[in-house]
Homo-oligomer: A and B are copies of this chain.
Amino acid sequence: MINRGSRTVIIGVMGGSDVAQPIYELAFQLGAMIAEQGWALLNGGRDAGVMRASAEGAKSRNGLTIGVLPGGSRRGANPFIDIPIFTEMGAARNVINVLSSDVVVALPGGAGTISEIALALKSGKKVCLLKFDVHALFQSCCFPDQLYYAESLQDCMAWLQQHTDV
């Protein structure tokens, strides 16, 4: 009998490549809690900021980690990525990040993170902003139903529980 692959839930975690220590630790804890749920974690795969911290957290709980990289070679990937997807497509890989995630969590970041929130909303994905207060922008023009602002990790995890019955 053939064992069909069970449907893996994939949580996308976006956020800055240069973040303060409390955000780095929050990303680590988020990654760990995602892995504890049995979910796979997907991020941008680079060896910096939220990408490194969330993958490191997921691996601390033996989670599966996927990194969609802007470059074409393993040098750019952080060591906590199990499945590196190399695109050599620069910022165009941001689209792949959000399309390949069942739901997206966005921590504080810069323009790259904002582009990923926008692209996720445009493609119909649900997005949880974790301590990244840009919801006023997006809520004013679009998408009130797709966007959630979480003040705490616990709040974010509860929201994820509700939105992963995919």
Chain A residues engaging chain B, CB cutoff 8 angstroms: 2-5, 8, 10, 40, 55-56, 59-60, 62, 65-66, 68, 72, 79-92, 94-96, 99-100, 108, 110-112, 114-115, 118-119, 121-123, 134, 136-138, 141-143
User: Can you list 28 pairs linking A and B with CB atoms under 8 Å apart?
Assistant: A2-B59, A2-B60, A4-B59, A4-B79, A5-B55, A5-B80, A5-B81, A5-B82, A83-B83, A84-B100, A85-B96, A86-B96, A86-B99, A88-B123, A89-B89, A89-B92, A89-B96, A92-B95, A92-B96, A96-B96, A110-B122, A110-B142, A111-B119, A111-B121, A114-B114, A115-B119, A118-B118, A136-B137
Q: What is the CB-to-nearest-CB distance from A60 to chain B, in angstroms, rounded to a whole number? A: 5
A55: nearest chain-B partner, CB-CB: B5
Chain B residues closer than 8 Å to A111, beta-carbon distance: 118-119, 121-122, 138, 141-143
| Alpha-carbon gap, A31 to B2, bound state (A) | 13
- What are the residues of chain B within 8 A of A80 when measuring CB–CB? 4-5
A4 to B8 Cα, complex, angstroms: 21
> How many copies of the shown chain assemble into the complex?
4
Q: List residues of chain B with CB within 8 A of the CB of A112.
A: 118, 122
Complex CA gap A153/B10 in Å reads: 34
| Distance of A8 Cα from B81 Cα, bound (Å) | 10
Q: A83-B8, A83-B83 are in contact. Are A3 and B62 (CB under 8 A)?
A: yes
CA distance A56 to B114 in the complex (A): 31
Q: Are A122 and B81 in contact (CB under 8 A)?
A: no
